[in-house]
């Protein structure tokens, strides 16, 4: 309209455009726009035959009218935007349309139209002013591609994670500036090439589902990292302490490898574990300080139960026996009734144990305890609540943990962990292990409860002081 100098009247006669005519036309445009319709002006101009048409010819047009387009808002859009809002995702509209169409659409889909910012206003703003403005408005209209890009950069500068959905050439710059760019399969080729992901259906409900599933994947990943980090921190601490206290290898290399293999099997189901609603309601970011705090506060539970188990082995299991230092070829029984003092002298760094199976027996009992604590750890770290009482994992994770626990408990009794790498007589060793199994299996539920409820106290303390534990 601004480049037209004449118009066709109702009788198709060419008449000059004055301010009154322009106001009448703009009033009609606003009327259609307020009802959510897009208006495209149409004009023409006579150009001499053979003349090359350039941009300079776009002037002194004859305005003939306009074409009105309607693109009804999907009923699912309002629901999807409300759902996204419930999950901490704010939806903002960045469009080249005018403010009238955008206000209508905003009202239809539940986006605030209290303040609408237009492109020329953005052009006059500094980056700092724009960073403030983007927080107070959800609709931006009459935007150029550069305007859209600046808005995205301003949101990111304010600490937001930005996903931008676009399907046209004008959206490409903003899509490149966003953290995640989304297009649809009907979009332009350049928009689809730029997009991080392409939706096969043009439905905002898919975005909501994607946000939820993405957060579930993140939460389950954090569960695994915190569980492995904490248990390994505690285990390494225990291993160093045991190496300083005992004059034999407290845990064989093969045992460590098999221990990790069985543990990894138990953790295979974590990606499909249930995720509590509180963990997906708000966006969460990776926080190394969070991980460190959990490791340093929850990790020591492992050494505490390990020390209790060592004391149990020294003063209860071995305390009912006197371990004679004998050679492998000796027919003398490896265990006879004896005194606590002799046991302490044998176990601690006071006497050479070469030629006895105390090392293997110690390793077997300790590795069983480690398997039990590891299984507990999977279920403790996955929730801020009390496992099995207030929160249950998925059935598959329970089953995999029980299988790993059974294998980890039975495997040491087979002697496989020492086969071919030890000079101990396996038949005598297995007899020794089976002889102490009853009393040890009474101890295991006790130490498991200590670990379980002790860990829960640590969890409650962290929730009170830091506001997080599982995620």
Partners of 322 in beta bridges: 336
Domains of the chain: 4-70 (3.40.1110.10), 75-208 (3.40.50.1000), 209-465 (1.20.1110.10)
pLDDT digits (tens, 9 = 90+) for 37-59: 888 899 988 888 888 888 888 88
418, burial (CB in 10 Å: exposed 0-12, middle 13-18, buried 19+)? buried
Rounded-to-integer distance, Cα 16 and Cα 14, Å: 7
pLDDT of residue 333: 39
Q: Which residues touch 405 (CB under 8 Å, ≥6 apart)? A: 266, 371, 372, 375
Going by the DSSP 8-state scheme, the letter that residue 34 receives in this structure is T
Q: Is the Cβ–Cβ distance between 366 and 235 less than 8 Å?
A: no
pLDDT of residue 204: 82
Rounded-to-integer distance, Cα 456 and Cα 337, Å: 40
Rounded-to-integer distance, Cα 443 and Cα 420, Å: 30
Q: Is the Cβ–Cβ distance between 191 and 183 less than 8 Å?
A: yes
Rounded-to-integer distance, Cα 458 and Cα 450, Å: 12
Q: Please tell me whether residue 454 adopts helix, strand or coil conformation.
A: helix
Q: Is the Cβ–Cβ distance between 326 and 332 less than 8 Å?
A: yes
Rounded-to-integer distance, Cα 212 and Cα 218, Å: 10
pLDDT digits (tens, 9 = 90+) for 173-208: 999 999 999 999 888 999 999 999 999 887 888 888
pLDDT of residue 355: 37
- Tokens found for residue 416: 């496989």
Q: Please tell me whether residue 164 adopts helix, strand or coil conformation.
A: strand
- Tokens found for residue 44: 């023409």
pLDDT of residue 323: 42
pLDDT of residue 325: 37
| DSSP string computed for 252-308 | -HHHHHHHHHHHHHHHTTGGGS---HHHHSS-----HHHHHHHHHHHTTHHHHHHHH
pLDDT of residue 232: 86
Please calculate the CA angle 204-210-216 and round it to the nearest 5 degrees: 150
From first to last of the 471 residues of the chain, give the pLDDT tens digit.
Answer: 888 889 888 888 888 888 888 888 888 888 888 888 888 899 988 888 888 888 888 888 989 988 998 878 888 888 899 999 999 999 999 998 888 888 888 888 889 888 999 999 999 999 999 999 999 999 999 999 999 999 999 999 999 999 999 988 999 999 999 999 999 988 899 999 999 999 988 788 888 888 999 999 999 998 888 888 888 888 888 888 888 887 777 777 777 888 788 888 888 888 889 888 888 888 888 888 888 888 888 888 889 999 998 888 777 776 554 444 333 344 443 334 343 344 444 444 333 333 346 677 778 888 888 888 888 888 888 888 888 888 888 889 889 888 888 888 888 777 666 554 454 445 555 556 677 777 778 888 888 889 888 888 888 888 888 777 766
End-to-end CA distance of the chain: 57
Longest dimension (CA), the chain: 124
pLDDT of residue 357: 62
């Amino acid at each position: 309209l601004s480049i037209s100098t004449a118009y066709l009247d109702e009788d198709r006669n060419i008449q000059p455009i004055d301010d009154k005519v322009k106001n009448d036309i703009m009033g009609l445009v606003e009327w259609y726009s307020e009802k959510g319709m897009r208006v495209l002006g149409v004009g023409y101009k006579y150009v001499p035959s053979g003349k090359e048409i350039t941009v300079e010819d776009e002037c002194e047009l004859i305005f003939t009218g306009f074409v009105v387009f309607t693109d009804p808002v999907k009923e699912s859009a309002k629901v999807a935007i409300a759902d996204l809002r419930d999950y901490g995702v704010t939806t903002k509209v960045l469009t080249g349309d005018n403010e009238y169409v955008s206000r209508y659409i905003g009202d239809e889909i539940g986006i605030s139209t209290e303040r609408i910012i237009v492109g020329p206003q953005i052009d006059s703003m500094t980056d700092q002013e724009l960073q403030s403005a983007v927080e107070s408005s959800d609709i931006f209209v009459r935007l150029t591609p550069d305007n859209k890009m600046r808005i995205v950069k301003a949101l990111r500068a304010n600490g937001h994670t930005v996903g931008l959905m676009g399907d046209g050439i004008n959206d490409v710059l903003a899509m490149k500036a966003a953290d995640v760019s989304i297009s649809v399969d009907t979009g332009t080729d350049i928009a689809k090439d730029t997009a991080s992901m392409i939706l096969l259906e043009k439905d905002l409900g898919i975005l909501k589902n994607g946000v939820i599933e993405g957060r579930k994947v993140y939460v389950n990943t954090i569960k695994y990292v915190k569980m492995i980090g904490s248990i390994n921190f505690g285990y390494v601490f225990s291993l160093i302490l045991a190496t300083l206290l005992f004059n034999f290898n407290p845990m064989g290399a093969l045992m460590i490898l098999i221990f990790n293999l069985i543990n990894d099997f138990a953790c295979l189901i974590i990606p499909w574990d249930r995720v509590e609603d509180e963990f997906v309601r708000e966006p969460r970011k990776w926080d190394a300080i969070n991980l460190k705090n959990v490791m340093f506060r929850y990790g020591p539970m492992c050494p505490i139960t390990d020390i209790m188990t060592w004391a149990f082995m020294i003063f209860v299991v071995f305390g009912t026996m006197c371990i004679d230092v004998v050679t492998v070829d000796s027919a003398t029984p490896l265990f006879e009734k004896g005194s606590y003092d002799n046991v302490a002298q044998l176990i601690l760094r006071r006497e050479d144990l070469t030629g006895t199976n105390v090392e293997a027996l110690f390793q077997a009992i300790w590795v069983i305890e480690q398997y039990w604590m590891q299984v507990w750890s999977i279920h403790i770290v996955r929730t801020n609540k009390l496992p099995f009482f207030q929160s249950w994992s998925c059935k598959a994770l329970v089953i995999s943990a029980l299988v790993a626990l059974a294998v980890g408990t039975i495997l040491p009794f087979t002697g496989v962990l020492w086969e071919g790498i030890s000079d101990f007589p396996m038949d005598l060793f297995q007899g020794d292990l089976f002889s102490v199994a009853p009393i040890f299996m009474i101890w295991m539920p006790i130490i498991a409860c200590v670990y379980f409820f002790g860990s829960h106290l640590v969890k409650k303390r962290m929730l009170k002081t830091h506001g997080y534990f599982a995620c």
